[in-house]
Amino acid sequence: MPVDPDLLLLSTLPNAISLKDFVVLLDLDNQMNIPPNPQANLDGQYSEEQRFHHAIIVLRRIDMEQNGHDEYTKAKLAAYYLPQLVEKFLGPLPIHDADPEAAEDLLLKNAYMVMLQSLAGSPYMVKYLKSSYPIAGPGKRLLSVVARRLVLVGPRWNRMMEDHPKSKEFKDAAVIVLPFLGTCLMALRYVDGEPPKLDLNAKDGQDLSVLLHVWWMRFPDDPVGTISELICHNLGEYFEYEEALRLGAYQEPPKIECALPSCQRQDNLRFCKRCHNVKYCSAQHQKIHWYCEDGSEGLPHELVCFSTQY
Ligand SMILES: [Zn+2]
Ligand SMILES: [Zn+2]
């Protein structure tokens, strides 16, 4: 059984931080009611650039975890913090007087985008984006805002990539934004059977399409190109789910069958009452999946099942 992530040291920062400190790093309300790790000395006095870099380090550390611990930690983060992360992302960032372009970059190159990207493949993201609860209201404009911000900063990022081909700074930033957008578009399309409508005016829509086509043609062999291609497809008529999986832009489809992997029944399914993220054909299969500690049925559902406010 994975270690409780509340106690886990999440990062390789000089003063390693725990999940408790993570809420301080990201300036979130502490939903879990846990005090910060007294040894970490985080005081929340971060510039947005520092937050961005620290969030990347912490998430890399989580991704290196084994035995489902990464999935467990991300499920818990998503269940507790998605609404706050989205509000922070959509809210005003501190003004960067010295450098207007750096301020513009912060619209997408920030810790909240990093977090949202890392949680994009979680079933909690779909639940949040589809939720009709008021707390999930800001999520209804999230994808459109990301797309509009990409229209704003993308052409300059593209020029920076051209002018400084050895610097990976802007390409790395694109590799955070694009998978987020691609994964969410795919997930919603998978659930609804049709692509979600982005709220873009005609010019922004066209500019986004041009930018994505440029990246698609220019980087055919890496995520910037392949995910640009995927998003182009998602915005248009063409859609191949298997192709998207091949491109690696979508991590795992929401289940439309009994969540017990060995079952696969697709009819008469009922939601897990606590998380509303997975469905079961019977109470018996729910019970097996809840505890299955021998690993034969994947991660026990007990570890990723959280009730949410959305
Ligand atoms: Zn079943
Ligand atoms: Zn559940």
**Tens digits of residue pLDDT in 262-298:** 998 999 999 999 999 899 999 999 999 998 877 788 8
Locate 71 and state its tokens: 């999935």
| Ion ligand 1 residue ranges (Cβ < 5 Å) | 258, 260, 263, 265, 281, 285
What does the mean pLDDT of the chain come to? 83
pLDDT at 48: 86
**Residue 12 pLDDT class (50, 70, 90 cuts):** very low
Entry pTM? 0.86
Q: Which ligand is nearest to the CA of 301?
A: 2
Where is pLDDT greater, at 259 or 34?
259
Cβ density class 240-264: b for 16+ within 10 Å, e for less: eeeebeebebbeebbbebbbbeebe
Torsion of CA 284, 288, 290, 296, to 10 degrees: -150
Has residue 3 got a pLDDT over 50? no
Q: What is the mean pLDDT of residues 199-228?
A: 90
Ligand nearest to the CA of 262: 1
pLDDT at 31: 61
Query: How far, in Å, from the CA of 277 to the mean position of ligand 1?
Result: 15
Distance between CA atoms of residues 310 and 298, nearest Å: 26
CA of 68 to the centre of ligand 2 (A): 16
Query: Which one of the ligands is nearest to 283 CA?
Result: 1
Ligand having the closest approach to the CA of 280: 1
Q: Which ligand is nearest to the CA of 286?
A: 1
Q: Per-domain residue ranges for the chain?
A: 5-247, 255-310
| pLDDT exceeds 80 at position 255 | no
> Is residue 270 within a helix (H) or strand (E), and if so which, with residue range?
strand 270-271
Which pLDDT value is given to residue 89?
Answer: 96
Task: Check pLDDT > 80 for residue 51.
Answer: yes
Which 3-state string (H, E, C) describes 175-202? HHHHHHHHHHHHHHHHHHCCCCCCCCCH
C-beta of residue 229 within 8 angstroms of C-beta of residue 216: yes
**From the CA of 240, how far away is ligand 1's center (Å)?**
28
Note the ligand closest to the C-alpha atom of 276.
2
- Predicted local distance difference test score (pLDDT) of residue 197: 85
Query: What pLDDT is stored for residue 38 in this prediction?
Result: 54
From ligand 2's centre to the CA of 275, what distance in Å? 4
β pairing state of 279-280 and 270-271? antiparallel
User: 94 falls in which pLDDT band (50, 70, 90)?
Assistant: low
Whether the CB-CB separation of 226 and 212 falls below 8 Å is answered with no
pLDDT at 35: 55
Instruction: Please indicate whether residue 305 or residue 293 has the higher confidence score (pLDDT).
Output: 305
Q: Kindly tell me if the per-residue pLDDT of 243 is higher than 80.
A: no
Query: What is the rounded distance in angstroms from the CA atom of residue 274 to the CA atom of residue 307?
Result: 5
- Whether pLDDT at 16 is above 70: no
The predicted-structure confidence for 120-165, as pLDDT tens digits, reads as follows: 988 899 999 999 999 999 999 999 999 999 999 999 999 999 999 8
H/E segment holding residue 271: strand 270-271
